[in-house]
Every structure is written in structure tokens, then in C-alpha cells.
Structure 1
Amino acid sequence: MMPNSVNTNVGAMIALQNLNMTNSDLMTVQNRINTGKKIASAKDNGAIWAIAQNQRATSGSLNAVKDSLQRSQSTVDVAIAGGEAVSDLLLQMKEKALAASDSSLDTASRTALNEDFKALRDQIGKSVSNATFNGVNMINSGGTTIAALANDDGSSKLTVSAQDLSLGSTILGGGSGLTATSSIGTQTTAGAMITTIGTAIGAVSTALSKLGTGSKSIGAHLTFINKLQDSIDAGVGNLVDADLAKESARLTSLQTKQQLGVQALSIANSSSSGLLSLFRG
């Protein structure tokens, strides 16, 4: 047992230590409530904070991946729209060629059919050249192959190959197929053009199928990236977010404890005044 002394008040020292600990805990709880985080900086828990920062970096990088996928999907979809226009024009051109192959046509009718045919042919060129998104065209001559980002470090790409649907391209039959000068001015050329366009229709359909598959793959991967980012963000929240209901209850408890600590310190400080009674006569 410590002797009674006016120089050293052990009870007050212990009460002050406890009050300081309570105040420190109270400050921590208030900070958690203010920020909504139980780990707001590296000094709170260095290891967990570092893990959370790494995952935040991954989540942030996935924003760039989503942008790339969305931009690529739009580019492919525009290319598909252009390709479908080409396919529709080919169907009309085949109809014109079939009509022009009729030997009973007079010159005026054949000329009119040929003019319609050439207008449709030229429209193919316009449709192809205008199928551009953000400066990228996948179906023109020398079209751009899409290579969208697929992961957060750029080491994986999602590729959709360009499909040249321009007049004179391999898909439209090359030099002996549908070109910028093709016509149906005679019965013979009209008959040959029926086969040429029929082959081109099949080839364009195959090209569109490849573009459609590519767009679907990009869309599926975009959905996955969205879910992955949500899961990462939720994981970071599990690591660093405070349980506000729990912290609120703890705040009330610590406030009560703080008041009791102040009273205990007051009582301990007043105990030394009792020594004065020993010197009263």
C-alpha cells in the first residue's frame, strides 16, 4: 500500500491514465464515424491499407478496360450496320440483274435497270466508307482490326478482325467480282452478274457473322468486367469500411465511460485534501 502523500497522488495518476485511454478510443470511434472507414490511413493498419490500395488500383484500371470495351463494341456495331446495308443492297442488285437477264427486254428498259443497278453499286461504296465510329472503320479497304483491352494490366486483348466489304474486295469477288465499274448493260453481263452477286451475298453474310460474334464476345466480357469491378469494390469495403451501427453503440459507451473517468479523476484529486484533517487540532 502506497503511503499518503501530497507529492504523489497514485489514484489520480491511474484515473488520468484511464481517462486518456478512453479519450483516445473515443477519438478513434469519432474518426471512424466521420470517415465511414475503420482503416482510413496506413497508420490504422498498414497491411490491410496496402491490400485495399492495391485493389483500388485494380478497380480504377478496370474503368479504362470498360471504356475500351464500350468503344470497341460501338465500332463493331457500326461496322455491322454498314455491312447489313451492303447485304440489303446486294439483294436489290441481284433482283435488277435477274430482271436485266430477260432477253425480251427493250433497250430503254435495260438501260433503266442498269442505271438502277449502278446507283445501288455506288451506294455500297458510300455505306462502307461511312461506317465509321470514332475515326475507325472496320469494313473499308484497309479497315482497322479491333483489339480491346481485356484486363487491368493490358496484357490481354479481345480481338475482332476487320472485314473488307468495299467494291473490288476479296469478299465481293475481287477483280472478277463486284467492282466500282460493274454493270448489267447487256443480257450477257446481267446473267454473269447474277452468279457474282449471289456469291457475294454469301460471303458478306459470313463476314457479318464474324462481326456479330465479335460484338457479342465484347458485350459478354463487358458484363463480366462490370461484375468483377463491383466484387472488388465490395471486397475493399469489407476490408476498410466501418460498421456504423457498432461504432455508434461504442460511441455511447465511451462517452459514458469518459464522464465516469472525469468523476474518478475528480475524486482522486480531492483525496489529498483529506490529509489536512490530520493536522487539525
Structure 2
Amino acid sequence: MTSILTNTSAMAALATLRSISSSMEDTQGRISSGLRVGSASDNAAYWSIATTMRSDNAALSAVSDALGLGAAKVDTAYAGMESAIEVVKEIKNKLVAATEDGVDKDKIQEEITQLQDQLTSIAEAASFSGENWLQTDLTAAGGSEAKTVVASFVRDGSGNVSVKKVDYTLDSTTVLFDEGGDTGILDTTTTIEGAAVTLNINVAGVISEYTVEAFTTDDVITAGAGSSTFDGDYASDGTNDYVKVDDDTWVLAVDQTTVTDQEVAYEDSTSALWAVDTTSAPTATTSSVATIAIDGTTTSTQLDGLIQMVDDALTSMTSAASALGSISSRIDLQEEFVSKLTDSIDSGIGRLVDADMNEESTRLKALQTQQQLAIQALSIANSDSQNVLSLFR
């Protein structure tokens, strides 16, 4: 039946055209945005996942920036420690040179003083973004201070998030100078003892261990300005008396009549008895890497003690540098991992929500053809009403 009131053909053609236009609008939206899932209405599950992962990726970007800042701090501290190690090595070499007979120790001291000043300059300059890991006030911090470097942003299986960090502790084993005290590697006070010997001596019936000052035969001769006297195991430099306790080892002595029950006692040719002076103690001086002082009176024993002290400090500095190097290496690995993880997350989001442009372009071409055909069909359907006029001519 043909009706001029109800054109069913035109209605069908118009519905088809509307459907095609709607599909074209969706396709053009995907092409213009590049997204297959651009809103929750497109695919609620994929949109939710993509939104969460984009947020995590933004957090990882912040982690990457923090890693860069942390790496700069660690690298600055490592560079300072490495330079300080070279300076301390040079101080050690100077002290070794000072053991040579006839060397001008005062000149060597001048060089050591300059090297000490350089150590201070290195520690003060090793600062980045207001943080100095080589020089800090450990006393105010209670002996140690914790430093951290952001390493990663983690979301577990339950959806809980956390920021992981790399820890580094500033304490007496890692800091060169303690601004509030003397607990740093290079300002720790160390006791340098002179030559000493430990003996088990029976005093008043009690055997006790005594550490007393020891002298070589040359020391005794020097103390007497060449006029020292020797009588078997007894000697005198004119001021002090000595007894021999080992090969070329002498200790200060006291008259046996002033002590009782001495197990170690010596008799000279005059039948006088002499015993170890248990009240004598090895000569001691306090020094540190930052206050090394030598001159023409510095003995070889004291130099050996200073060399040992510097070597101990060098060992501690090497250990601290190793720790900084390990953290630096870990940060480098973490930066590489974060970069790869960010790319992987981007790729995963893309698989969920990105539009396939090849597919969308093909679909658009097809929809454009369908649209043209729908318009043509609607035109034909609308022309049917005009054909009714010919029946009344």
C-alpha cells in the first residue's frame, strides 16, 4: 500500500542513516583521540585499570626524579670520599718518608699540614642540595643519622601502595668529620703509645700483668748522653736505673729494698738488688689524622704509631667509599628498571585502551560508503510520495 501520511521506507532509511551516523561519530572519536576506551562508558573495566596504571606511572615518574636527586647526593659524597682517600694516602706516604734517617721532618710536617687542610676543604665542599654526607653533627644526632634515597613505588596484590627506599647511615664509620664532636673517621682521637713490654710480676704474693715502658740499649745510651753504665742485667743513664727483661729490652728499675716479693729481680756487681718499676707506664701522646704533628724529636716508634693510625683511617674510608659505591650502583640499576617498568606499563595500558588506527580507518571508509548508500536510500524513499501525483494527472 502506498500512503502519503506514513512513508515506512523513508522511516527505515532514516533509522539506518542515524545508526550509521552514530557509528561514524564513535569511529571519528577513536581516530581523533587515538583511544578505543576513552571513558568509562566505553569499557568500565578497562577504563578503571588504565586510569589506575596511569596514576602509578605518574608516581614512577616522580620516583625517577627522586632517584636522580639521590644519585646526585651519593655521587657527590663518593667523589668527596674518593678524593679524601687519595689525600690520606699521600699523608701516609709522607709519614713513611719521615722514618728515613736525616730527612727534614719539619718540612714534611708543612706538607702534611697542607694535606690536612685539603681534607677539610673536601669534606666541606661535598654538599648537594644542602646535604653533606661527609661532614655533619653526629653528636647532635645522637651518634648516627639515617639518610634515605627513594628507590621505587610498589603496589601489591591487595592494592596497597608503598614507597621503597635505600638506607644509608651517617656515623663514625662513614662521616669524615663530626661537627659537634670528635667521632668522625678523621677526627677520632687515638692514643699512640710508645714502646712497651708486658710482664707477669709477683708483687706481695699476687701475680699480676703489668705493661711498662720499654727501652732499647741505644735508648739508654742516648738518655745518658753516651755516659750510661751497664752491669750485666742492670744499667743506669745517670738519672734513671734500668733492668734487662729481654734481648735489647730494658725497663725502669727500682731498688729492691723499696719493694717486696719481686719475682723479677736483678743483682749488680755490688750485690744491690733491682726490680721492675711497676709504676712506670709507656709514654703516650694523643693525636688524630686531622692533628698529626711531627718534628725532629718524634721517635720512630711514634711514627710507626701514626702510620698505623692513618692506615686504620684509610681502611675505614675505603669501607665507607665501598658502601657509597654499592648504593650508587643500585641506584643506577633501579633507574634502568624504573625506565623499563614505565615503558612496560605504558605498553600494557595501550593494549587495553588504544585504538587500532588501521582498523578504525578501514571502518571509517566502510561507514562513509554506508552513509552515502543510506542517504541515497532515503532520497529514493522520499521520492515515492512524489510518484503518487502522477496517478492524478
Same fold (TM > 0.5)? yes
Amino acid at match of 2:298: Q
Instruction: Quote how far apart the aligned CAs of 1:21 are.
Output: 0.5
Q: Give the one of 169, 177, 194 matched to 1:161.
A: 169
2:147 & 2:65 partners in 1: Cα distance?
14
Counterpart-to-counterpart distance in 2, 1:99 and 1:141: 33
What SS class does the counterpart of residue 150 from structure 1 fall into?
strand
What residue in structure 1 maps to residue 28 of structure 2? 30
Kept after mapping to 2: 8 A contact 1:12/1:265 = yes
More displaced 10-residue stretch of structure 1: 16-25 or 234-243: 234-243
Q: Distance in 2 between matches of 1:235 and 1:220?
A: 22
What is the CA distance between 1:55 and its match in structure 2? 0.8
Alignment partner of 2:177: what SS?
coil
Distance 2:79 2:43 in 1: 54
CA shift for structure 1 position 154 = 4.3
CA drift at 1:173:
7.2
The one-letter code sitting in structure 2 at the alignment partner of 1:166 is F
Counterparts of 1:150-189 in structure 2, within 5 Å, are 150-152=151-153, 153-162=161-170, 163-166=174-177, 168-172=182-186, 174-176=188-190, 178-185=288-295, 186-188=297-299, 189=302
Aligned to 1:146: 147
Change (3 A) 1:218 1:145: farther
| Cross-structure match for 1:210 | 323
The CA RMSD measured in Å over matched residues stands at 2.0
Contact 2:70 2:150 in 1 (8 A): no
The one-letter amino acid of 1:171's match is I
Q: For this pair of structures, how many residues does the alignment match?
A: 275
Per-residue Cα deviation, 1:241-276 (whole angstroms, up to 9, x for no partner): 111111111111111110000000011111223333
- 8 A contact 1:100–1:113 mirrored in 2: yes
What SS does structure 2 have at the residue aligned with 1:184?
Answer: coil
Per-residue Cα deviation, 1:61-120 (whole angstroms, up to 9, x for no partner): 111101111111111111111111111011110111112223433xxx211110101111
Q: Of the two, which has the highest radius of gyration?
A: 2
For structure 1, the 5+ residue unaligned runs are none
Shift of 1:170: 4.7
Of structures 1 and 2, the one with the larger relative CO (CA 8 A, separation 6+) is 1
Structure 2 distance, partners of 1:61, 1:201, is: 41
Equivalence for 2:337: 224
Q: Is the 8 A contact 1:173 1:196 kept in 2?
A: no
Distance (whole Å) between structure 2 residues aligned to residue 235 and residue 92 of structure 1: 56
List per-residue Cα deviations over 1:168-190 (Å, max 9, x = no partner): 54534721163432222243343
Q: Which residue of 2 aligns with 1:112?
A: 107
1:23 counterpart SS class: helix
Mean CA deviation greater in 254-263 or 47-56: 47-56
Assess if the C-alpha contact under 8 Å between 1:138 and 1:145 holds in 2: no
Which has the larger share of helix?
1
Instruction: Read off the aligned partner of 1:195 and give its amino acid letter.
Output: Q
Contact kept in structure 2, 1:141 and 1:169, CA below 8 Å: no
SS of the aligned residue for 1:147 comes to: strand
> Cα deviation per residue 1:226-254 (whole Å; 9 max; x = unaligned)?
11111111111112211111111111111
- Structure 1 distance, partners of 2:291, 2:91, is 14
Choose between structure 1 and 2: higher strand proportion. Answer: 2
Give 1:277 shift.
4.1
Q: Is 3-12 or 21-30 further displaced after alignment?
A: 3-12
1:252 maps to 365
